A and B are shown apart, each in its own frame.
Chain A
Amino acid sequence: MFQFIVRRLIQLIPVLLGVTIIVFSLMHLTPGNPAQIIAGESAPKETIEQIENRLGLNDPIPVQYFHFLKDAVMLDFGTSWRTSLPVSQELAPKFWVTLELAVYSTIFSIFLGLIAGIISAVRQYSIADVGIMLVALFGLSMPNFWFGLMLMQWFSLQLGWLPPTGWGSPQQIILPVITLGTMGAAVIARMTRSSMLDVISQDYIRTARAKGLKERVVIYRHALKNALIPVVTVIGLQFGSLLAGAVLTETVFAINGMGKLMVDRILARDFPVVQASVLIIAVVFVFVNLIVDISYKFLNKRINMD
């Protein structure tokens, strides 16, 4: 097990290097001179050159990349070109907001998705099954910014039950989490259903019934644990796409998270902040996948029943 984890960690190195290269090149290939934007439209040429020198923008691109990488390894992402604050200081509070949003949404997705998927599978072709799968299809095909706006329209503006914007209080959390978590719930429900149906037809489920176990025990102890194995992968992938989806959700609900920060700073060509944000999201994504892989291996054999 230990060797497996170490091997996976070593395999992460090239992946993360690749991510930094892509992030770095994307930013430097986008049109628009950052120095010009920082200095303002009508700034004199000397000011712009001065800024360019200070930021190291005149160095060859590989050198710039090397500096960026060296600092990033030390967890130093430089200072924001826009606010002159250290990037880490700018990012930290926003990162926690986004992480909270993603974690709550994932919990919501898992909870709803698993329950719906199990009901659907156990009562295949029933009205409940057909209903759940229809709703899931709807949840899957709905763009989440539109869904967010609709929720806001009904629950905030018309019914006035929940606040339309912001983040922090329990009431403020509900709508963004539903917006962001619905698609994941739909994906998990569909995956759980097909995985459960597959497992229920296995020989060992028949063995479990032949032992004289209650149907509930057969489903939850014998079927679910096996059915979860593929679902866990999907949950991991969902968490990654949640981080990305958070950008839109944060914008819709005016939440001061990393997504919103990124959108703002891309427009302002604030390279250090954008690079750091993308890098953090990539690292989180990669590590979640690592955890998924480990739990996958774990679930596969060594589950304690007693």
Chain B
Amino acid sequence: MNQETILDINDLRTSFLVDGFEVKAVDGVSFKLPKGKTIGIVGESGSGKSITAMSILQLLDKPGKIMGGEINFKGRDLTKLSEKEIRDIRGNEISMIFQEPMTSLNPVYTIGQQIRETLKVHQGLDKQRGTKKAIELLTLVGIPSPEQRVKQYPHELSGGMRQRVMIAMALACNPELLIADEPTTALDVTIQAQILELIKDLQSELGMSVIMITHDMGVVAETCDYVAVMYGGKVVEYQDVKSIFKSPKHPYTVGLLNSIPRHDTDVDELEPIKGNVPSPKDMPEGCRFAPRCPFATELCTQELPTLDTQADGGEVRCWIYTDRWDGDPEVNVRESKRTAESE
């Protein structure tokens, strides 16, 4: 794995300051993304996956603030940049697409105006050249009759078409990194297939690196090279995509995979994780997953494990894989037949 790294996030911490309290939404996240590859960040609601994505471009909503850590992009730490410097990167070197295509475009401007705006800010294209480029981009993302579409308003387009427009806009300045935050969650499954295919094609054509934020393990399996599983504001496991499905290490990853109702095989009974997803306002002490983990020991509830690299190259944040493990030494996290208490 001797590849150039395009993004190296180290101990990122992002909090929301609400009524004087610090809610740690992202709490020490680290991962690397090799150039030209796709990393999936998976997790359930409140895991901090979207906040991690927003932190990279510093697009956090109001009380949100990066409290520490580094975001190294091509050798520069983005957290140290001035407002103007980060603006020059947004939409230019790093672009982003979002979950809700229906509301992510400004309703009062035409598609063409919105694409041209990006081209004007970063490349100084005038209206005529901007329109030409916008039509090229719409063609690239597979929108039929782009000459007419540039004159249309967002409400005249379907959800799938709008997401294509968002992608066209994101690609306007040939970004090196595309951050896709749940890009297909709001779309129907046949449209999702179109959009995922489009992102994959464009990636191989343009050599972009992609961060794919999602809750859908199916999307991860089909689009990603590496996977970071997040839980309670922390990365609990990081592996290449094949290993994470073949030999998941963290009990949470195992639980997540066992919870998915599969459309391609029959499962008698799902094996859910007991309990509920914790809220960032009320994070358990010790390992964040301990209260829901079938293997948790006293050590787990008291002390937080670190994210350690294993012999096979994967990284996992779990006491089971350390010398200090005080539970059953023969424990096998992939063994089924765990009973969920709140069943």
Contact = CB atoms under 8 A, between A and B. Distances in A.
Interface of A: 124, 201-204, 206-215, 222, 225-226, 299-303, 305-306
A212 B89 contact: yes
Interface of B: 57, 59, 61-62, 83, 87-92, 95-96, 98, 100, 103-109, 113, 116-118, 121-122, 127, 153, 155, 166, 169
Nearest to A202: B103
B169 A206 contact: no
A206 B98 CA distance: 9
Given A203-B100, A305-B113, A210 B90 contact: yes
B109 A206 contact: no
Contacts of A214: 87
Contacts of B92: 212
Contacts of A226: 106-108
A208 B106 contact: yes
B103 A203 contact: yes
B107 A206 contact: no
Contacts of B57: 210
Given A204-B107, A303-B108, A210 B95 contact: yes
Given A204-B106, A226-B107, A210 B96 contact: yes
Contact of B59 (A206, A225, A300, A305): A206
B106 A212 contact: no
Nearest to B98: A203
Which residue, B62, B89, B104, has most C-beta atoms of chain A within 10 A? B104
6 contacts: A124-B62, A204-B103, A207-B98, A210-B95, A212-B88, A306-B116
B113 A306 contact: yes
A209 B59 contact: yes
A214 to B, nearest CB: 7
A219 B268 CA distance: 54
Contacts of B155: 301
A283 to B, nearest CB: 31
Contacts of B61: 201
A303 B83 CA distance: 29
B122 to A, nearest CB: 6
Given A305-B109, A306-B113, A211 B121 contact: yes
Contact of B107 (A213, A301, A305): A301
A225 B83 CA distance: 24
A172 to B, nearest CB: 40
A21 B234 CA distance: 72
A201 B90 CA distance: 19
Nearest to A124: B62
Nearest to A199: B106
A210 B91 contact: yes
Which residue, A124, A209, A214, A225, has most C-beta atoms of chain B within 10 A? A209
Contacts of A202: 103
B57 to A, nearest CB: 6
Given A206-B104, A210-B96, A212-B118, 18 more contacts: A203-B103, A206-B59, A206-B98, A207-B98, A207-B105, A207-B166, A210-B95, A211-B117, A211-B118, A212-B87, A212-B88, A212-B89, A212-B92, A213-B121, A226-B106, A226-B107, A299-B108, A305-B109
Given A203-B100, A226-B108, A301-B108, A211 B113 contact: no
Contacts of B122: 212
A303 B95 CA distance: 26
Contacts of B98: 203, 206-207
B90 A212 contact: yes
Contacts of A201: 61
Which residue, A203, A214, A299, A302, has most C-beta atoms of chain B within 10 A? A203
A232 to B, nearest CB: 13
Which residue, A201, A211, A226, A305, has most C-beta atoms of chain B within 10 A? A211
B121 A303 contact: no
Contacts of A213: 87, 91, 117, 121
Given A210-B91, A301-B153, A204 B104 contact: yes
Contacts of A211: 90-91, 117-118, 121, 169
Given A210-B57, A210-B91, A204 B105 contact: yes
Contacts of B169: 207, 211
Contacts of B107: 204, 226, 300-301
Contacts of B121: 211-213
B300 to A, nearest CB: 37
Contact of B91 (A212, A222, A300): A212
A209 B98 CA distance: 12
Contacts of A305: 109, 113, 117
Contacts of A303: 108-109
B134 to A, nearest CB: 13
A206 B95 CA distance: 12
Contacts of B59: 206, 209-210
Nearest to B62: A124
A214 B153 CA distance: 23
Contacts of A225: 108
The 9 closest A-B pairs by CB, nearest first: A212-B90, A211-B91, A212-B91, A203-B103, A204-B106, A203-B104, A210-B96, A305-B113, A211-B118
